[in-house]
Amino acid sequence: MRLFAAVRPPERALEHLELALRAVHGGAAVGHSGSGVRWTAPENRHLTAAFYGEVSDGLVDELVDELRVGAASVPRFELRLRGAGVFAHRTLWIGVSGDVDGMHAVIAAAGSAGESVGARPDERVRSRPHLTVGRIGPAAAARDRGRGRGRATGEASPETALVHALALYDGPAWEVDEVVLLRSQPGEGRSGGPLYTPVERFPLGVRADDQAL
């Protein structure tokens, strides 16, 4: 199974974000908008803690056990979605504020769990926790890079304008109380996107023996 660990904001935080996104892109929530951005499905939005890739069925139970222990070592903490940016002219994201150190602790625990069972090393740098909201198409990304080289003209790309519009976004705070292990099935979700299915949930700050009570 293709697996990853993540923190998913509660519905009220995701709905608040969706209203903000609709305000800046005209209501095109999923698929391509006129700006060349393919917006992610709201149900797929999350903060990735670790990506494990393909994990054999025989290792899934071991990974679950390691994640349970790792999550138990991290106290609950508070986050909120805030600000925006673009990675490599392609990935449009919303950042986080609040107890970001708590999120880094989750990332470290999830990464260690994967290493313990021999899962594929997560090659992504997770130093900036974020939630991906859209992917900029190749043509639009190339156009944006070209505008970057000619920035003296003062012409901003639609993607840059979106980031500027979302730069001051500040969502509601919530308590992060669990980490979720999710299965990813590329192409099986809405509008040809991935389908994410929860495999197991792990409460933060709860010892394994207490979970059994």
Non-local CB neighbours of 127 within 8 Å, separated by 6+ positions: 104
Q: Is 82 exposed, middle or buried (0-12, 13-18, 19+ CB in 10 A)?
A: middle
| CATH architecture of the domain with range 2-204 | Alpha-Beta Complex (3.90)
Percent of the chain with pLDDT over 70: 82
- CA 153 remoteness from chain centre: 34
pLDDT tens readout for residues 26-36: 655 455 455 57
Residue ranges per structural domain of the chain: 2-204
Neighbouring CB atoms inside 10 A of 111's CB total 20
* pLDDT (average), residues 81-110: 94
Q: How far apart are CA 162 and CA 25, in angstroms?
A: 8
Q: What is the CA radius of gyration of the chain?
A: 18
Across 77-190, where does the E strand assignment appear? 77-87, 91-98, 130-136, 174-176, 178-185
pLDDT digits (tens, 9 = 90+) for 51-66: 999 999 999 999 999 9
Structure confidence at residue 141 (pLDDT): 46
